[in-house]
Amino acid sequence: MKQTDKYLRKKILVLGLAKSGVSAASLLHKLGAFVTVNDRKPFSENPEAQGLLEQGIKVICGSHPIELLDEGFELIVKNPGIPYTNPLVKGAMEKGLKVITEVELAYQVSEAPFVGITGTNGKTTTTTLIYEMLREGGKLPLIAGNIGTAASGVAEEAEPEHTIVIELSSFQLMGIEEFQPEIAVMTNLFDAHLDYHSSKQEYAEAKEKITQNQTVEQFFVYNGDQEEVAEMAERSRAHSVPFSAVKKYDQGAYVEDGELIFRGEKIVHISEIVLPGKHNLENILAAVSVCKLKGVGNEAIKKVLRTFHGVEHRTQYVATIENRKFYNDSKATNILAASMALSSFSEPVILLAGGLDRGNEFDDLKPYLKNVKAIVTFGQAASKLERVAEESGITNIKRVDNVESAVPAAFELSEQGDCILLSPACASWDQYKSFEVRGDMFMAAVHKLK
């Protein structure tokens, strides 16, 4: 870890806990700051706050009192999930107080370079692929951000020979100032998180911050099929490295005659790749670009692509039972993600879908239901999904209580050669604590079916 006196004897407020807040508070305490932590969860129910208090850090729990702004803080480190419309955050910015996220803090103390990955979809898969390829190629990667441990905790332990591979959300990127990845990746850009961001433009601007500090010695790996993303590449000072599953880019990654190619060099035939779907091919092209720039050999890349079936809960292969393949895509908490999963399969699909009703309809799913021969619905949004299924000509429709009962119901509707896909197109919170819990229950039901 880089030694710095930047925070020595500075009064700093860490707003919001979870992993990133705990890590940031502990690091700042070690750096000699006078740290106060503020979290909405009551102290009696807050083991993270209790642990920080034991370290000698001041803790205020139960609410975000606006009066904290009168205590003379010089910096706020904000949990990414807390919006900028929060009265405390808004008041701080009106006073001219600097507000950063924990990623910025991690960058300032890290001795290792960063590979930063952002985009609307595909971040987790791309991040995991890069990590696995670097590891297989002997490049000593560490994984951080949304997918792993908090960035500042990883940065504390990182040595110069490591590479920190970090998945970054727009929420995190809004709070950076100096953060400068050696390689930045933009997987794609669609409308998302407009309940947090005031507009699509603000969301896009937040994403673009991943490359704002890059220099001509660094690289911006981007989706060349999206005009808005390509325009970001034109504005970036970094070397542009495009990727595309449909176009040829001499200075990037592309597919030609069934071969995945990077800058004219054949890397692997796509028939050897086990991860399904065009969207995953784009994720793979991005990951290969990064790893070739980092000097990873083709054999290491091939080995990962021949064995990598996906990250948990994202079009994750679970099992084959009586020639029916089961896939867990519980992370598909919106229509776009479910559409991408459905477009991955040419086989007949039994779709398991439903969950929290956010007030939207599901008509945008219709073009992706061509291979769906039956649908099993559950949760608050079940009736809306059933309407869309009926209007798409699907006659096999069954409603069940939950994901656990959806699995045997789907199996009864299936035939040999079918794929049974959990891709809910909805958040899980009407029935499950998280999409991870929902996916775990699905997988447990599949294994029980065995």
The domain spans of the chain are 11-100, 104-307, 316-449
What is the three-class DSSP state of 395? coil
The mean pLDDT values, 10 residues at a time, for the chain of 450 residues are 93 93 96 97 95 96 95 95 91 94 96 96 93 98 86 96 96 95 95 60 93 98 96 98 96 97 97 87 97 98 94 88 96 90 92 93 96 97 98 98 98 97 96 95 96
Strands of 239-243's sheet in order across:
141-145, 163-167, 114-118, 183-186, 219-223, 239-243, 253-256, 259-262, 265-269
Does the annotation flag 118 for ligand binding? no
- Contacts of residue 314, defined as CB under 8 A and 6 or more positions apart, other chains included, come to 124, 125, 329, 331, 332
Q: Tell the CATH superfamily of the 316-449 domain.
A: Mur ligase, C-terminal domain (3.90.190.20)
What's the gap between Cα 101 and its chain centre?
A: 17
For tokens 């880089």, what's the residue? 2
Does the annotation flag 121 for ligand binding? yes
pLDDT at 198: 64
CATH architecture of the domain 11-100 equals 3-Layer(aba) Sandwich (3.40)
**Whole-prediction pTM value?**
0.83
Does the annotation flag 124 for ligand binding? yes
Instruction: Quote the CA–CA distance of 64 and 38 in Å, as a whole number.
Output: 7
pLDDT at 81: 84
Strand partners, 265: 262
Does the annotation flag 307 for ligand binding? no
Does 316-449 match 11-100 at the fold level?
Answer: no
Instruction: Quote the CA–CA distance of 119 and 20 in Å, as a whole number.
Output: 20
Instruction: Quote the CA–CA distance of 17 and 196 in Å, as a whole number.
Output: 19
What's the gap between Cα 317 and its chain centre?
A: 19
Pick the CATH number of 104-307 from 3.40.1190.10, 3.40.50.300, 3.60.10.10, 3.30.2090.10: 3.40.1190.10
Strands of 372-378's sheet in order across:
316-321, 324-328, 419-422, 349-354, 372-378, 396-399
- The pair of structure tokens assigned to 311 is 């990250």
